[in-house]
Chain A
Amino acid sequence: MSAAQIRFLTLWRREVNRFMKIKKQTIGAPMLETFLYISVFGAALGSRIDKLHGIDYVVFVIPGLIMMAWAMNAFSNNASSILQQKFQGAIQDQLSSPASPLELLTAFSLGGFMRGLVVGVLTFAAASVLVDLPVDHVLVLLPGLFLVGFFFAQLGVLIGVRAEQFDDVAIAQTFVLQPLIFLGGVFYSATLLPEPFQTLTHFNPVYYMINLVRYGFLGFSEADIALSLLALTGATAAIFAFNLRLFSRGYKLRA
């Protein structure tokens, strides 16, 4: 193994090790949260709600819940990890190593991506036990989930680098991400909304992500799949390029 490979794997291992050491909080809590959503919206209220586009309500919401768990965990892991390391000064150990901006950014990103993957897979496994969850278009589902995870991992890195206090991360999560995800149609079909909210939903990027994942699982989407994939690929590439520029400039990382 080359020195560069060892370096990258160690940077990445550090990020995975961090969330695995506090797995009650980083894996257990989001699993419980998703279980509660499935219980309340699926089992308890779901039986009172008509089928949506011919799909049982509980089955309709699960793809969105998996996407939400993946996205929120990828985001919050990276934002918290980077801010904590900046706060402790421990990030100096990585920054003064020979690691390049690309290696640092990719390793930080993959930490959250892995946490999102673990929570997403566990949620999928648990949901599969509770309901009969089909996987209709695996070739859309896998790239869709990959892009969603990587996009939110990048967003987490961006907020973590910019943040100067823990409030900054909490504000982004509570006042921006959570509303976008909830209003993107995790729990409902946008076609049920009155105007102008139905049209406004089309300006929410998370709406397209949810539809991609829902299409991958259930074969049903309200949005154009090819366009959604293309837009998400573009958005992910754009935020990665932006972050790489920040890392190369040392923005809020190097004095």
Chain B
Amino acid sequence: MSTDGQVAKFSAAERGNALQIEGLVKRYPTGVEALRCVSLEIEPGDFFGLLGPNGAGKSTLIHCTTGLAQPTAGSIHVFGHDAINDYADARQAVGLAPQELNLDWFLTVEETLDYHAGYFGMPKRERRERAKELLETFSLTEKRDERTRTLSGGMKRRLILARALMHRPPLLILDEPTAGVDIELRLELWHYVRRINQEGTTILLTTHYLEEAEQLCDKIAFIHEGEIVSQGSTTELAASYGVANLEDAYLKLVGRQELSRSRVEELAAS
């Protein structure tokens, strides 16, 4: 997979943190409080991991950032642009590859990319060139005229990532991008996202694969029951929980230390 200067177009817009969240609260009409006063800072160029169990608030935080959910209180800024009240510039700066395979069944692979870029105001010639390049990058060129519903799960996952990259966002949000994909594709995606991060794209990743977070992220935050409970590098997180590695720190966070591999090995040996 080859890359190009992802963020060139947005360099002028970059000011402040890539993502600045302050006091974010999301309470659903049912009364469920998915986010409780979350504050988070992601600096430009970071590869930031957001880890937590199912229902911790990871997707809600992403949805609030991208306009798919409406925060109850707090503020969100993307490269200095207000993402809640004056959202156009903030949304322009974000590419979202969601957890769900939310492709439009009526569109072909190429149309999916073309329409997405059109929604973000990209002119026709640029859309064509960018789509061609990403189809090639994600090995989808042969499928360009196929309807999206005919694609395999892995191809759908690649198309969703290509779609998120179409408008060259300086902040890429990957919500469990490798869930259910085979090992080859997972490694390919890792290589690709690592490279675009090195070229300047800030990345926010949520994943349940701790190895993925360890491999890719230079900063990690744990979110639990709607709150950011700790953050830092892998080593810093392990140290703050008084354990040896990220997995044990995570297990301590969710109160399941009995599942720790070292403990299981000790029990097996005794």
Contacts and interface: CB of A to CB of B under 8 A. Distances in A.
Do A and B originate from a single complex? yes
- The size class of the interface chain A forms with chain B is 20 to 34
Interface string B150-164: 000000000000010
Interface in B101-116: 102-107, 111, 115-116
Interface in A1-32: 1-4, 6-7, 9-11, 13-14, 17-18, 21-22
A96 B103 CA distance: 14
B19 to A, nearest CB: 15
Contacts of A98: 87-89, 91-92, 119-121
B56 interface: no
A174 interface: no
Interface of B: 28, 60, 63, 66-70, 87-89, 91-92, 94, 96, 98, 100, 102-107, 111, 115-116, 118-124, 163
Contacts of B63: 255
A4 to B, nearest CB: 7
Nearest to A3: B121
Nearest to B88: A98
19 contacts: A3-B120, A4-B121, A6-B121, A7-B120, A10-B118, A11-B119, A13-B115, A14-B115, A88-B105, A89-B98, A90-B105, A92-B98, A95-B67, A97-B91, A97-B119, A98-B88, A98-B91, A98-B92, A99-B119
Contacts of A134: none
A97 B164 CA distance: 11
A242 B20 CA distance: 34
B67 A96 contact: yes
A254 B68 contact: yes
A241 B116 CA distance: 27
A191 interface: no
A234 interface: no
A94 interface: yes
A99 B87 CA distance: 9
Given A1-B123, A6-B122, A17-B111, A93 B104 contact: yes
Given A14-B107, A21-B106, A89-B98, 11 more contacts: A3-B122, A9-B118, A10-B118, A11-B119, A13-B115, A14-B115, A93-B104, A96-B94, A100-B88, A254-B68, A255-B28
A6 B123 contact: yes
A115 to B, nearest CB: 14
Contacts of A17: 106-107, 111
Contacts of A4: 121
A94 B123 CA distance: 17
Contacts of A93: 102, 104, 115-116, 119, 163
A52 B232 CA distance: 82
B127 to A, nearest CB: 9
Contacts of A84: 105
A88 B69 contact: no
B172 to A, nearest CB: 13
Contacts of A3: 120-122
Q: Which of B91, B106, B111, B123 has the most CB of A within 10 A?
A: B106
A233 B63 CA distance: 38
Contacts of B115: 10, 13-14, 93
Contact of A13 (B88, B98, B118, B122): B118
B104 A96 contact: no
Nearest to A22: B106
B154 to A, nearest CB: 19
